[in-house]
Amino acid sequence: MSVVLLSCIAGTRSAVALYDGAPRPREQVARLSGYVRFVDDAEVSKRGSVFELLPGCHLVGTPDSWGKFDSTGGGVVVPTGRVAFALPMRPAHDYSIELSTEHSGGPQGRAWIKAVERDSTGEVTNTFGPVQHAEDAERCLAEAPR
């Protein structure tokens, strides 16, 4: 059995702008949602769950743990630690940080975290793994300046 934490494509939900100035049209911003706690080293999780950012590279960090519980008292907790993603965000695209779990019997299981990019039609156009080396983030920042 697999449980996936997916963000909704946030067409109808209001998004928190993480940029200065007047609100911009949807075609000029990228949207971020999902398992997110930090964006560019600022804690954002208490400000909302869907964010608008200007195009360019953004460093996204996750919370330290994820959990899901049901009405029967069962649940799962995954201690992920802070996982970082360097995302070269494009205008009119949605980005979600997604956590998937797989129960393998007893108290054990596996978990994966990835970032998914979707175009304006909802089609997946790219996936990103966590930053493995500082050079990964540096390359993203150099290639897609904010």
Q: Is 10 exposed, middle or buried (0-12, 13-18, 19+ CB in 10 A)?
A: middle
pLDDT at 112: 84
Asked whether 110 and 99 are in contact (CB, 8 A), the reply is: no
* Main-chain phi, psi angles of 143, to 5 degrees: -80, -25
Strand partners, 113: 99
- pLDDT tier, 13 (very low <50, low <70, confident <90, very high otherwise): low
The pTM of this model reads: 0.80
pLDDT at 107: 67
Strand 109-118 and strand 94-103: pairing?
antiparallel
pLDDT digits (tens, 9 = 90+) for 87-116: 999 999 999 999 887 766 666 677 789 999
